[in-house]
């Protein structure tokens, strides 16, 4: 009980410090050079406060972390999720909480603090590697606009290695003009190893709009696909059928 009281007090301090820091930043245009130095000093103190808070949370039980997660603002939630990610817990209740925060604030895409909460939740999911996170992460790929979150989501799906993620990853790759996203997706598809990725990886490996490093990674990912002899025969039959159809049309 005392631990929870202490933690809630710490949450209030962190949240209040964040608000004060934002207020000082908004008034920065009117500040003198001396006030600017004071602001830098205060920012350093806030940074140290965050580090101390993370250290304290790292030594707490998961039950206490749940209290902090539920009672804190968006900034505190992000810190707690970061600690949970470091713990890489297999507690079903904690995993459920992590999954709950993966799409946190997605309906407000311009809110930077919400995006950071999502990022930390996704990072936690990547470390926990629980299959229950896959549908939520895959769904996020269709709605997330913040590039660091997209990259972390694809990475997390690659770490979990569940074939249910393949359609969402492939869709995101086809829609994206960002080579970093495509590169991360290619790596993830290789880790998952589902044969349904073959056609997409072949296309990327032969597409001249991508740099050689990306195309080479697509080739390496193809090597990781778990293609059985039946899959290979199906591909051969499909190729043969296509060739015969083209030949007939030509005649």
Boundaries of every domain in the chain: 50-132, 161-228
Residue found by looking up tokens 């949240």 in the block: 15
Query: With 0-12 CB in 10 A as exposed, 13-18 as middle and 19+ as buried, what is 186?
Result: buried
pLDDT for 119 beyond 80: yes
C-alpha–C-alpha distance, residues 27 and 42, integer Å: 14
- Give the range among 9-23, 135-149, 182-196 with minimum mean pLDDT: 9-23
Residues 84-113: what's their mean pLDDT?
81
pLDDT of residue 70: 80
Residues 124-134: what's their mean pLDDT?
94
The radius of gyration computed from the CA coordinates of the chain, to the nearest angstrom, equals: 24
Residues 240-250: what's their mean pLDDT?
43
Residues 99-124: what's their mean pLDDT?
87
Residues in the chain: 251
Of 137 and 45, which is predicted with more confidence? 137
Most confident of 34-48, 82-96, 177-191, 231-245: 177-191
- Give the range among 18-22, 78-82, 228-232 with minimum mean pLDDT: 18-22
C-alpha–C-alpha distance, residues 104 and 219, integer Å: 36
pLDDT of residue 243: 41
61 SS3 class? coil
Residues 5-28: what's their mean pLDDT?
48
Closest CA to 144 of 190, 98, 178: 178
Residues 160-181: what's their mean pLDDT?
95
Q: If pLDDT is split at 50, 70 and 90, which confidence band does 43 have?
A: low
Closest CA to 166 of 210, 221, 215: 221
In angstroms, what CA-CA distances link 118 with 20, 124, 202?
Answer: 24, 10, 32
C-alpha–C-alpha distance, residues 223 and 235, integer Å: 16
- DSSP secondary structure code for residue 183 in this structure: H
pTM (two decimals): 0.73
What beta strand segments (E) does 19-111 contain? none
C-alpha–C-alpha distance, residues 44 and 28, integer Å: 16
C-alpha–C-alpha distance, residues 213 and 192, integer Å: 20
Phi-psi region of 88 (alpha: psi -120 to 50; beta: other; left: phi over 0): left
Judge whether 222 and 205 are in contact, CB under 8 Å.
yes
215 SS3 class? helix
Give the pair of three-digit tokens for residue 207: 């597409």
Give the pair of three-digit tokens for residue 248: 């007939």
């Amino acid at each position: 009980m005392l631990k929870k009281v202490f933690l809630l007090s710490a949450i209030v301090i962190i949240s209040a410090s964040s608000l004060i820091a934002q207020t000082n930043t908004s008034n920065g245009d009117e500040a003198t050079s001396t006030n600017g130095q004071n602001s830098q000093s205060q920012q350093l103190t806030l940074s140290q406060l965050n580090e101390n808070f993370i250290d304290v949370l790292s030594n707490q039980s998961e039950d206490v972390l749940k209290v902090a997660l539920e009672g804190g603002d968006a900034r505190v939630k992000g810190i707690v999720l970061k600690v949970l990610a470091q713990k890489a817990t297999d507690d079903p209740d904690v995993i459920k909480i992590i999954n709950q925060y993966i799409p946190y604030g997605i309906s407000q895409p311009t809110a930077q603090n919400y995006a950071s909460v999502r990022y930390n939740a996704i990072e936690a999911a990547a470390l926990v590697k629980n299959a229950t996170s896959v549908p939520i992460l895959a769904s996020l790929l269709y709605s997330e606009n913040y590039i660091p979150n997209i990259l972390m989501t694809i990475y997390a799906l690659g770490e979990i290695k569940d074939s249910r993620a393949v359609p969402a990853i492939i869709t995101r790759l086809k829609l994206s003009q960002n080579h970093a996203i495509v590169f991360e997706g290619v790596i993830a598809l290789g880790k998952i190893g589902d044969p349904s990725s073959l056609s997409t990886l072949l296309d990327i490996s032969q597409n001249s709009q991508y740099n050689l490093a990306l195309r080479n990674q697509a080739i390496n990912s193809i090597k990781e696909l778990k293609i059985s002899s039946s899959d290979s025969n199906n591909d051969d039959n499909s190729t043969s059928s296509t060739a015969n159809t083209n030949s007939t049309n030509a005649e």
